[in-house]
Amino acid sequence: MLNGVWGTKIGMTQVFSEKNTVVPVTVIDLNDWIVTQVKTKERDGYEALQISCLRKRFAGKPFEAQWLKKKNNYFRFSKEVALQEAGQYEIGQRFNAAAVLEVGKTVDVFGITKGRGFQGVVKRHGFRGGSASHGPRFGRWPGSMGFMRSQGRVIKNKKLPGQMGCDQRAMKRLEVIRIESEAQIALIKGSVPGGAGSLVFMQKA
């Protein structure tokens, strides 16, 4: 039995619940995932499925065996999911990811955050910065950090300017609000790491 599925983040919107309250949700696209390899315990030592997401220009077209020779030309992503009943699937079969999720259940969502480039301490760590009036020139500097050590050495894990974003993050126990089986779209409560079009993994909590 599958414990998680891969999807593509579309963006955020809002829906109304049964109590007429507005619920912010993230729309996850589960379309165009195809089984490209079936791994068995006899041949590979474990059972798993390799599933790949078709590029937009090939979406909706019937599967062709030549796609497997040059996967990068036809597929955006290729991922592997552990599955004990992997022998039930065939290469080229459409993967029904929406059938794995259940409305009302919770999932852990993993994704890569948006890249912000090299940022200072104000944006990266939320520092207040210096006063903007009465003559100080402190501005957005990080300030002193040697705290009178003999050699002025900066200790490790100090909050400093640096690369921000592009980190793997997880949002725990997000509720599955709605699943559109025909459109292969899932609505997850709250925000999910990453920008529109990024790859996310949803695992049963």
For the whole model, what pTM was predicted? Answer: 0.82
Q: Give the pair of three-digit tokens for residue 73.
A: 């030309």
pLDDT confidence tier of residue 1, bands split at 50, 70 and 90? low
- In the numeric block, the tokens 């993994």 are attached to 201
Q: If you count DSSP H runs as helices and E runs as strands, how many of each does the chain have, helices first? A: 3, 11
Is it the case that residue 25 has pLDDT exceeding 90? Answer: yes
Amino acid letter for position 92: G
- Cα dist from 48 to 18, 51, 72, 87, whole Å: 39, 10, 21, 9
Ranked by mean pLDDT, the top range of 8-17, 91-100, 176-185 is 8-17
Mean pLDDT of 14-37: 92
Are 204 and 102 contacting, i.e. CB atoms less than 8 angstroms apart? no
pLDDT for position 149 = 65
